[in-house]
Structure 1
Amino acid sequence: MKQNELDSLKNELKQIYDRKIEVTNQNGFLDRNQIPSGKKVYNIETSLMFIDIRSSTVLSSTVGRKTMVKIYQMYTKLCKKAINENNGMILQIVGDGILCAFTNDSTGNSGQRAVYTALSIHTYIAESMNPLLSKEWEISCGIGIRTGHVYVTRLTTDNGSEVAYPSDITNYASKFCGLAEKNQVIIDSKTYDHLNKKFKEYCEPYQTSMPNTYIIKEATWEIE
């Protein structure tokens, strides 16, 4: 590695570091094509939700790649259905991990709708997807939700650009998802504050590095 290469990279990084970031408050998420790159970012109040299949690596080695593709397609379809039903939007899909978002609107608070979605996803998996699979292929997922403000920006890549959501709420939603076990939803205090009285009764305090965290166990809808 040559010193002039390091110096050139340092200069490029310094330009980014010295750049003044322009923040614009936004009520909802823009279309990806409307998000500029560089110094402009959007600040959005939202509830971010991470969904992830439990033990997907073990499952992949057991069922084979072709079957796993079908399982991913089924899982993604039911997640999209639940998210769309509650006026949410999918931000990113990486493997079996899905990041989605909800904003306050006429249909309700973002946190309440995120929790509704989480319960629907668990229910769709248990009642509509798993009955189609062999017992050893049945899946479950963990879900994490955090409510707050997120910056939205576009990052340049070799293949064009990618939209990023740098924020501690993104990080904590992901951490909560990682902690959640089968059919569990872990939420922060702001999401909890969005819930109506009935849903708060289902929440239990849960110990994490963030104070006032809650968990909903066996989080599925009652089938009528």
Structure 2
Amino acid sequence: MKQSQIDQLKNQLKQILDQNINVINQDGFLDKNQIPSGSKVYNIEASLMFVDIRSSTVLTDSIGRKNMVKIYKMFTSLCKKAINDYNGSILQIVGDGILCGFTNDSTGNSGQRAVDAALTIHTYIAESMNSLLNKDWKIGCGIGIRTGHVYVTRLMTDNGSEVAYPSDITNYASKFCSKAKEEQIILDSKTYEHLDQHHKDFCENFTTDLSNTYIIKEATWEIK
């Protein structure tokens, strides 16, 4: 590697380091096409939720990649419906993981709606999706939710650009998701504060490196 390569990269990174970031407060998530590249960053108060299929690699090895495509399509479709049911937005889909966001609006607090959507996803999987599948195809997912402020910005890539959501609430929602087992929801204290008493009664304390974390086990709606 040549010193000139190092110097060139260093100059590019210094331009980013010296850039003034313009933070704009925003009530809700914008359409991705509305988010410009450059120094603008949107600050949004929201509840972020990560949903991820458990043991998908093992499942792919068992049923094959073509059949796994069907599983992903079904899973994404039911997640989209559940998230739309509670006025949320799908922000990113990466592999078998989905990041979505909820903001406070006339229909209720973001945390309450995120948890309701999570309960609905677990219920849709158990009652609508898995009821159609062979035993070896059945899936489950873990869900993590954290509430707070998230920055939204556009980052340049080889394929143009991608919208990113740099924030500790994004990181913790992802961490919670990875710790959650099938039919479980792990949430932080701010999300817990948004819940009505009926939902709080189902929450148990859960130990993580973030204080005041809660878990809802066997998190599905009762079917009447």
C-alpha distance in 2, partners of 1:98/1:185?
14
1:20 aligned counterpart, secondary structure = coil
Give CA deviations for 1:119-173 in whole Å, capped at 9, x if unaligned.
0000000001001111121100000000000000000111110000000000000
What's 1:30 paired with?
A: 30
Matched residues in 1 for 2:39 and 2:68: separation?
A: 40
* Counterpart check, 1:63 vs 2:48: no
Match of 2:8 in 1: 8
What is the match of residue 140 of structure 1? 140
Farther-moved stretch of structure 1 (210-219 vs 126-135)? 126-135
CA distance in 2, matches of 1:180, 1:50: 10
Distance in 2 between residues matched to 1:67 and 1:42, nearest whole Å? 39
Q: Work out the CA distance in 2 between the residues paired with 1:66 and 1:5.
A: 43
Q: Which residue does 1:75 correspond to in 2?
A: 75
Q: Distance in 2 between matches of 1:67 and 1:4?
A: 49
Q: Partners in 1 of 2:30 and 2:135 — Cα distance?
A: 41
- Using the alignment, how far apart are the partners of 2:132 and 2:187 within structure 1? 30
Amino acid in the other structure paired with 2:26: Q
Q: Residue 58 of structure 1 aligns to a residue in which SS? A: helix
In structure 1, the residue matched to 2:109 is 109
Amino acid at match of 2:119: L
Structure 2 gaps, min length 5: none
Alpha-carbon distance, 1:33 to partner: 1.0
C-alpha displacement of 1:101:
0.2
Whole-angstrom distance in 1 between the partners of 2:152 and 2:128: 35
Unaligned 5+ segments in structure 1 are: none
Provide the residue aligned with 1:129 in structure 2. Answer: 129
Deviation at 1:38?
1.6
Of residues 168-177 and 29-38 in structure 1, the stretch that sits farther from structure 2 once superposed is: 29-38
Pairwise CA distance, 1:66: 1.0
1:25 partner amino acid: N
Q: How many residues align?
A: 224
Letter in 2 for 1:109: N
Q: Counterparts of 1:57 and 1:198 in 2: how far apart (Å)?
A: 36
Distance 1:30 1:179 in 2: 30
Is the partner of 1:98 in helix, strand or coil?
Answer: strand
The RMSD of aligned alpha carbons is 0.5
Residue by residue over 1:4-47, the C-alpha shift from the partner in whole angstroms, topping out at 9 and shown as x without a partner, is 01001000000101111110000001111111112110000000
Instruction: Summarize the alignment of residues 204-219 of structure 1 with structure 2, pairs less than 5 Å apart.
Output: 204-219=204-219
Other-structure match for 1:186: 186
- Which residue number corresponds to residue 118 of structure 2? 118
SS in 2 for 1:176: helix
Helix, strand or coil for the counterpart of 1:50? strand
Q: Using structure 1 for the length normalisation, give the TM-score.
A: 0.99
Where does residue 202 of structure 2 map in the other structure? 202
